[in-house]
Amino acid sequence: MIPRYSRPEMVALWSPETKFRIWYEIEAHACDAQAALGVIPKANAEAVWRAKDVTFDVARIDEIEAVTKHDVIAFLTHLAEHIGAEDARFVHQGMTSSDVLDTTLNIQLVRAADILLAGMDRVLAALKTRAFEHKDTVRIGRSHGIHAEPTTMGLTFARFYAEMDRGRKRLAAARDEVRTGAISGAVGTFANIDPAVEEHVCKMLGLLPEPISTQVIPRDRHAMFFATLGVIASSIENIAIEIRHMQRTEVLEAEEYFSPGQKGSSAMPHKRNPVLTENLTGLARLVRMAVIPAMENVALWHERDISHSSVERAIGPDATITLDFALHRLAGVIEKLVVYPDNMLKNMNKFRGLVMSQRVLLALTQAGVSREDAYRLVQRNAMKVWEQGADFKTELLADPDVTAALSPAEIEEKFDLGYHTKHVDTIFRRVFGA
């Protein structure tokens, strides 16, 4: 976790304080369930709730762990310091450390997903606003970085909206993947603890019981979760790359908002660099790097080994904190993106009508010219534009083989921009609904 790429809300979720709080709640709810089953005395279960408003002392727990070399035992020892050793003696009964640790991790991942979903909502709202704002702002579409045919800036925002909306659905599904808890004992057989305890704890904490666990909750769930974060990060990169391209000097169709007082470069004061979207490109790589280790974590030995643990201590916070920050950075970029419609038109006309070649080609074919001949006709005039700086329409009007097939009016009509935007409404309906 890099402080400059983090937001406090997500950081807090991964703090020791939050972790111990969740541990406590799991233990306390488990005691309730055990008391209800008659396994432990009701009084002892109730006693645990005395620590309800305690903020656990992280330094003290670390101190105990330095001796016991076991984090859960350290916490339980500290908990006993609060509620008294006698009253605390049934806490954790029949449970194994992983019951607490794994259920906690999943609660954190579910909450992280909720924060991320809110971030995605902000991105979606920004994209939608800007899409409608620029629904009819014509710009050139490009394939291979080369001018192709006109499109609109609104369609660019709309396709990112659609992509992020898919990402949102994926994230909701990924949240469901990790929304389970397990209190099933040392190897998952419930030998020492009744399944009712698991059911109660899960219900109280918004989880579903893991249908079958070993000592741990199966890690394919987490692999899917992190893989999903990787896909969303890649979509962020996709948007970032588009904006970086739009901002490059020769294109300049948009710029990240540049606040007064911000310095672009220590050496070149005129520079306005797309540093936020470049940063997002790097952050996407960081989120993505969690994917493979999360998959390598799936194949644990027998009922568990602990190789996954160090990996999750890193990627759990890192991937969610980084993605969360990236989503909000992205939302800010989109909300404030400065768009230059004039430059869009200027760029489109760089090759004097050449981008309409496809239309002319089709018109020739429709007029009865064979596809091969039409292609040759268009290409020979296109090459004059390309190589000699001619104007495409002028050349076509002067080419007798072309005018033999198409009237001047028909040729003129092929250069109407409205032709290219006539289905924008249809597409917007598909993306944003009626």
CB of 180 to its own copies, least distance (A): 11
Nearer to its own copies by Cβ, of 42 and 423: the residue is 423
CB of 225 to its own copies, least distance (A): 10
Cross-strand partners of 255: 338
Tokens 């219900």 correspond to 203
Nearer to its own copies by Cβ, of 251 and 331: the residue is 251
Nearer to its own copies by Cβ, of 119 and 185: the residue is 185
CB of 267 to its own copies, least distance (A): 5
Contact 135, 152 (CB under 8 A): yes
Nearer to its own copies by Cβ, of 53 and 82: the residue is 82
CB of 157 to its own copies, least distance (A): 10
d(CA 38, CA 45): 11
CB of 48 to its own copies, least distance (A): 14
CB of 205 to its own copies, least distance (A): 19
Cβ-in-10-Å burial (0-12, 13-18, 19+) of 67 comes to: exposed
Contact 183, 193 (CB under 8 A): yes
What tokens appear for 75 in the block?
């916490």
Task: Tell me which residue of 141, 238, 154 sits closest to 426, measured CA to CA.
Answer: 154
Helix or strand run (H / E) with residue 181: strand 180-181
Nearer to its own copies by Cβ, of 32 and 318: the residue is 318
> What is the Cα Rg of the chain in Å?
30
Contact 334, 126 (CB under 8 A): yes
d(CA 39, CA 188): 19
d(CA 215, CA 185): 6
CB of 426 to its own copies, least distance (A): 6
Which residues does the annotation mark as catalytic?
A: 144, 265
CB atoms < 10 A from the CB of 189, how many?
Answer: 12
Task: Tell me which residue of 45, 37, 42 sits closest to 195, measured CA to CA.
Answer: 37
Nearer to its own copies by Cβ, of 251 and 333: the residue is 251
Nearer to its own copies by Cβ, of 53 and 418: the residue is 418
DSSP string of 233-291, one letter each residue? HHHHHHHHHHHHHHHSTTT-SEE----TT--S-SS-TT----HHHHHHHHHHHHHHTTH
Task: Tell me which residue of 57, 111, 45 sits closest to 83, measured CA to CA.
Answer: 45
